[in-house]
Amino acid sequence: MRRLALALAVAAVIVIVATAGLYALGRAANVGPFAPGVPTSWLFTAISRSGEDGDAREIEVIDLATGDRQLFTLDDRAFDIALSHDRRTLYVGTTNGRIFELDAVHGTVLGEIKLASGGEVRRLVILPDGQRILAVTTGATDATASLIDLVARREKSSLALGNRLIGPSIAGRDVVLSSSDRQSVEQLLTLDLDPLRVRAEVILSSLGKPLGPRTAAPSLELASDGSIVAVSPYALRLSLLSAAGSRRDAEIPFAAGSPPLLIPGFDGDLVLTQGDSVIQLCVGTGARAERYVAPRETLQVVRAGAECGRYARLGDGAIYLAVRAKPELRELDPVTGQLRRTLALAGFPQRVAY
C-alpha cells in the first residue's frame, strides 16, 4: 500500500512538473495549449498583390505597437478572415468550401474544415462561446449558412439562404446576418442555431430595381448595449436598431449621386469608437468613396474623408482603415475621423481581422 502511495505521489509530481514546463513554454514561445495568443496591437490584413477583388493570397500581420511585420502565404484565395476570441487561431475562408485554421503567431496551418456546400467561404462569424463559427458560402447564385463545431472541426448543420448576398454580420445574444436579395430589399436575418433556421426578418431598406446587380449587402456592428448599427450602401442610410426594438435612421450625404451609377463594386463599412458613442462609416467604390463620422446620440452624419475600405479597432481604442484600391493602412482619430498617419502595405487590402 505504501509503495502504491509512493508511486502515485511520484506520478503526481511528474504531471505537475510537465504541466509547469508546458505552461512556461507556451507563455514564453507562444506555442502549445498555454500560449497566450497574439497581442491586441496585432492587425491581420488579407492582401492582394494584383489589386483584383477576391485575389488575396497573403495575410500581412502588423504589430502596430512595435512596427514589426510578417507575411503568411496562403495556398488559396482568402475571401474572409476572423481571429478567435483567445487570439490564438486565425480562420481563413477560401474556395471549395474550405476554412483554413492558422496559428495566429506564426501562420502555420493547424487544420482544415471542409463544408458540404462547396463554393466560396465569404463570411466567417465567430460565436460568443468561441467554440463555434457561422460560415456563409456562396456558389454561382445561392448562399448557404453553416454552423461549425470548432472542437470537432466539423460542420454540424446548414441552412440554404437562396439568392442572397450576405454582408459583415454579428453574433451576440443572437446571430444576425446582413442580407441583400441582389435586387431591391436589404434585411437583417436573425437565426436560431438549434435547429439552424431563420427566426425573424427585419427590412432595412426596400428600393426600386437597380440598374445593375448589387455587389454588397449592408454592414453591421454590435454595440455593447445590444443595439445594432447598420450601414446600407445602396440605400445610403445609417440605421440604429435598439435592443428594445426602436429604430432611428439617417441619410448618408454621398455627393456623387445614386449608388447604382457606380456599380460594380459599391460597398460600405463601419466601426464603433469611443465606447460606442461615435460611429465611423464609409461608402463607395475604389474610384470614388466618402468617409463620415456620426455621434450615436444624434446620428448627424458629417463627411470626414474621401476613401473607403475595412475598419479595424484595436485593443487600445485606436482606429485604422485598410484603404480599398490602395496598398495603405490609415490611422484615424477615434472622434473626428481625421487622418493621423499612413502606413504602407505589401498589397491591396481586402479583409481585416483584429
Provide the pLDDT for residue 259.
Answer: 59
The pTM is what? Answer: 0.89
pLDDT band at 2 (very low <50, low <70, confident <90, very high): low
Percent of the chain whose predicted confidence (pLDDT) is above 70? 86
The grid cell for 220 is: 453591421
Q: Quick check: 118 pLDDT over 50?
A: yes
pLDDT band at 22 (very low <50, low <70, confident <90, very high): very low
Provide the pLDDT for residue 211.
Answer: 60
Taking 3-state DSSP, the helix, strand and coil percentages for the chain, each rounded to the nearest 5, stand at 10, 50, 40
Provide the pLDDT for residue 23.
Answer: 39
Residue 238, classified by CB atoms within 10 Å of its CB into exposed (0-12), middle (13-18) or buried (19+), is buried
Q: For residue range 225-267, list pLDDT tens digits in order.
A: 999 999 998 889 999 999 999 999 999 999 876 655 555 678 9
- Once rounded to an integer, what is the mean pLDDT over residues 72-76? 96
Q: For residue range 37-55, list pLDDT tens digits in order.
A: 999 999 999 999 998 888 9
In CATH, which of 2.40.10.480, 1.20.1440.80, 1.10.150.390, 3.40.50.300 is domain 74-163?
A: 2.40.10.480
Provide the pLDDT for residue 286.
Answer: 83
Provide the pLDDT for residue 29.
Answer: 53
Contacts of 28 (CB under 8 A, 6+ apart): none
Q: For residue range 261-313, list pLDDT tens digits in order.
A: 555 678 999 999 999 999 999 999 888 999 999 999 999 999 999 999 999 99
Name residue 273's amino acid: T
Provide the pLDDT for residue 19.
Answer: 40
Provide the pLDDT for residue 230.
Answer: 98
Provide the pLDDT for residue 215.
Answer: 75
- Once rounded to an integer, what is the mean pLDDT over residues 173-192? 93
What SS3 class is residue 259? helix
The grid cell for 312 is: 479595424
Q: Quick check: 224 pLDDT over 50?
A: yes
Q: Quick check: 18 pLDDT over 80?
A: no
Residue 199: count other Cβ atoms within 10 Å of its Cβ.
11
* Residue 141 DSSP one-character state: S
CA distance 126 to 135: 9
Among residues 311, 223, 303, 300, the alpha carbon closest in space to that of 267 is found at 311
Among residues 332, 269, 322, 272, the alpha carbon closest in space to that of 46 is found at 322
